Chain A
């Protein structure tokens, strides 16, 4: 029987409620992507955060993290007030102190070492988006011991890109989503350019048949983006480079190569001296001004490479005027690529990819590049003044990030990818990879790292910036005996091109006093006691370790700034509480990492949309204040008064790096009409705020392609201050800088490696990309540790920050170890079983989940879900602590000893990039009584002073409705 409702539906329904009292724009910081957001405020609280439709990064969309910003603002783990440690390090026992006392303590510690030896300060930041300030501050203090977390994350990508093509994936370039016909993604990229990649994939997959594109994903794990790929290659971790070399082998073997592009835009034709044993063997033939030569096809003689009418030979051996032999660098490239060990059959077993598949994909790349070329009728002028009436696109694009970066062969693998792009002629053309201004820059860029003995003086600024790009061995930061000058050994023979430093080695080296002891470790938002470290357990022990002779901590002082109660807080002596990203000014500067896109240059700011309800201060303000208290040059005026009493907001506007060049490029000049270069404009921030907190300038159509050789682009970039000179940037198939290091290892030149490093430098400083098995793998028996162990980043979480977020932790609150179904069956392991994951370095216990979409020799888990109980405002028995784990403690920060006992860091030998994806493990099934919780279990942290009890129910938003309905 059907009854009528007791009464007809007559719900009072307001379909047009007022959403908010006020909407403020700013820039998201829930991950590294830097999307524009609109924050709706109601009664002084965040009602709603949405993507800003006008913003160049995200065009109105927003990811799960961005929308969950409201719960990070509401986190119970927000620090409340400066803290001074009272218990032992690691126990998390603190008293609250006033800011004056906190800054007084920091000033006292730092002042003492600044006048003694500024290197005794190691200042390392994490996922810091204000490196234009923090790096400069380190320089003003006088210490070379500065870096952010790039050495842990992406320096292989940055260095390989900047030394090869003057740009790189993600930060300095992007696929041309609108035109590409073939997109290849290597490894995970789930939080790097998170929304731009999603927007791009949606566009690419949504194209009409006929103009459709193929998306190829090369990744040991089929999650995230790989799930929607047309084709997924379950490659064995660490072998991407070999696959790429095989693809290049096939293209070259069949002449599916853009020789015209190579001749015109790369150093393919530059003559390389062939004189084994000579001090200049393998270097380019150059004149006194340093200009290279080519062998001209028409005149059949050596001519300057930049001769308008010349056409280089790309093969052959030629006799130089001095009687010596030289070959075009491309001949060396061809010799390398066509080597039989790069044939598809030869790489198949190692990569796990069938030879037929490799051949087919090479054919598909060739087809997309050469049979589907794009012609756009945009007239443009090249740097030699030649006019072209169109741009020609080779619509193959690529993106690579973590899966390549975090291996000890990542630098050369990324180099191989860039070489593949060059062979296809697909860099900065329609449908290919496109630079984001201010890139391209010269390859390598010009700034050199500073930190030699003559550059470090008590009480004085460092002689240059701490991080830069060595152009040869003479730019290393080593003492005359070859020992490292920096605490992390960046720019030493152990990590010569460490352009982002080695965050992962700072604590281990400082603890050991190798190369020297430090006094103060000053960290900002980097969770070194947990998921930002290799050997995380050991790192925490080193932080808490005392010298038994003196009873003092081996690292005497630890200052830490963070906004939240992360695991690292417990190991600090002094905690400087930061604000959330919604409570401060910030600057996404072109001097750091741009938010530009292929068609424009852009930068952005954050503005405070909320006032903190706690006694916290923006870290950047604190740093400027501390600098003034220390009397650092540039931070005090002639009378010793603070130069920027208005804090970072004032610095962003007033500070000039060079005349006319400041932190922000938009609305410069007294009247705000200048872009790029111009006098400081006191009203600049208001203009940013009125424009959605970003500035964007579109390039003219004829400045958008082939920018390394585009006269109008180069002129504009120089006027803007991005380049020193409007000179072309020749892409580097062959990297001469690497050969200079190799020559040094062979005993040439003024700066030579100590004997014990020579073999290693000679091996890995190959001017051409090559593949080698990841270093850690080489040192162990495959039968003892048969599986690769890697992590993937869930799209809805960013490092540890997500765990304090009441919503995001409901999506990812614990993590199993994922094992291929066939592998699990072989090991008699089923879903729900628990295993010990055992590496040569440690053991971790975790529950198992089986799946099909994973390379059978690989196990994996989600990154940074596991937490120490009590951290991040969580209950001691939270699933993050009891059913979550991190694999960082399985990864040693050092490689096994060399003969003689020396241990290199577990890093890429070229860049020092932390090689945490090299990990190999075995699985041991747990006994039934062991299946209660993950291991190791650290003792839970107690709450910090002043922390409110955790709420048992969260009714966020109820008050908005109450007010709406009963105003």
Chain B
């Protein structure tokens, strides 16, 4: 049972990277489909389509970031031994990972849908690129807030 804390913390890291990554993959996939459709008509839109398609990718990176944060906190990176964790501390770390895991997952999917719509928009009105970027960025706000919450929570958890 003495490893339960470590396991719980790792479970949290896994959730953060996996769920946010899944969300980003779906979001980018949705946006990519729309981008490919637009580019069959006008291949010159590749640049702007790519930027819009990349927008829902940040959640995956936020998830990865939190996962690394946890691994670093546990001392699992860099060859030193893992720190000793009570199951309570493990559960606290798991809880800290949940905001970015869940919000990253869902927000990336919805951001992907908004990106796809924005891609449709610039196919008709290329001059509206500024507005097209802002609409998906509105969705990302909540992923940023979740990232912030996860970071602040992780920093508050005392280990070692």
A and B bound? no
Give chain B's interface residues, CB within 8 Å of chain A: none
